[in-house]
Amino acid sequence: MLKALTIAKWEFLERIKRKSFIFSMIVMPLLIVTFSLLPSMLISDIKDSPMPLGLVDFTNQYKKDFSNELSKFILPDGQPTFLILNFSNNGTDKESILSFADKQVLNNGVNGYVIIDKNKGLHLTFRTNGLYGTEKIGLIEKTFNKILAKRELTNAGLNTSEIDKVFNNFVTLQKEYIEGKDENDILKSFITSYLFIILLITMVLFSGGMFVRSLVLEKSNRIMEIILSSCTSKQLLLGKVLGLSVFGLFQFLIWFLLGIFLYKTNTFDFSLIKNIEYQILFFVVGYIFYSSIFIGLGSIVTADSEAQQLTGFLSIFLISPILFAFQIISSPNSILALVLSYFPLTAAPAMLLRLNSTNPSVMEIISVISVLVFSLYLVVLVSSKLFRVGLLNTGKKPTLKEIYAWLKLK
């Protein structure tokens, strides 16, 4: 046991003395947090501005009423919501008018333009080249339908005062959030879902990749043979596991202190993180699980290029939940989210995303943790066998047949 502790101490000190440790442990998390929180900060600081909107009315029946109604919408700072520009007369035919309007959009003269046309019925089209939220598009649609409704009511014999009374009795749908004051709080909550998973990926790939490269170096320069002359493979494995685990805890401690600093400076709000105790649990278990995989597969690697391939292969499973992050956060109890939660290689990152959007039952938490722990047991069992035989394997990468033979050894 004493030899294992000596190896663990050496592994830990060797890693924290490297210059790359300073960058990956302090600079990298700061960059991650900065770029994660920057969008919400920018959104909160950006003030809504008037939207230049073109109008093409091929019917010549609605442009005046439509422009008047849209001009009634006012932003909180008193500016008009829409700046209406009439393109209906810029051309002699439809193609030339639309061509002129398209050029205005492409040259950033307007954000987009509305086309009113009759072709087997009345059609309303919004033509643009950018991405816009549903709020202003909804206002445009709502305004045009209001004009149509007024005309129908006028044709039905209602006077102006009666029509105004009808529309004054309409109610507007108000949005309220259960866990947040406004959309910025909800956005920040979504962003915090990414923080834990990004930090987990950084921590696993950095420490695991460093571990694999150190094994390759020790095998290539024959240091491994010298170490094994004074201890057993089990003592070496235990020492490396302890060293890697302590190194991981040290990483987590630094990030925890960084989080407290950001919280004290009001940069980061812990209250937006739901189920933080479960998130920490899955963070730790996920780290140990992937570290065990690195220990086993790292022992059969014989070159730096193979180490990079191994790191890249495992990163696919770590990153895959991020590709479905929007679906998981929006529907945390969907079939996709549940499948990723119970698949061992994606369980930890998937649960980190789900836990900030939903409150899984205790039984679900226990079942997912049980799957991870059982998978961890199998990984440790396989890794210990690969580590015992693969330590002295140099020169060429073992074949699948050879690896299977190693696993059958007692």
H helical segments located in 129-232: 134-155, 160-168, 183-220, 223-228
Tell me what pLDDT residue 342 has: 92
The residues of the chain scoring below 70 in pLDDT are 1, 18-48, 131-134, 170-195, 228, 233, 258-273, 302-304, 307, 390-398, 406-410
Cβ proximity of 112 and 80 under 8 Å: no
User: 10 Å Cβ neighbour count for 116?
Assistant: 21
pLDDT at 257: 74
pLDDT at 46: 47
Query: Residue 377, exposed/middle/buried by CB under 10 A (0-12, 13-18, 19+)?
Result: exposed
Domains, the chain = 2-41+181-408 (no CATH), 49-168 (3.40.190.10)
pLDDT of residue 370: 93
CA distance 377 to 365: 18
pLDDT of residue 398: 67
Pairing status of strand 112-118 against strand 82-86: unpaired
Two structure tokens written together for 315: 């990163």
Centre a 10 Å sphere on the Cβ of residue 190 and count the other Cβ atoms it contains. 19
pLDDT of residue 333: 85
Phi, psi at 54, each rounded to 5°: -85, 160
Tell me: the pLDDT tens digits for 361-385?
A: 889 999 999 999 999 888 878 877 7
Whole-angstrom Cα distance, residue 1 to residue 333?
45
Return the C-alpha torsion angle 46, 172, 326, 356, nearest 10. Answer: 90
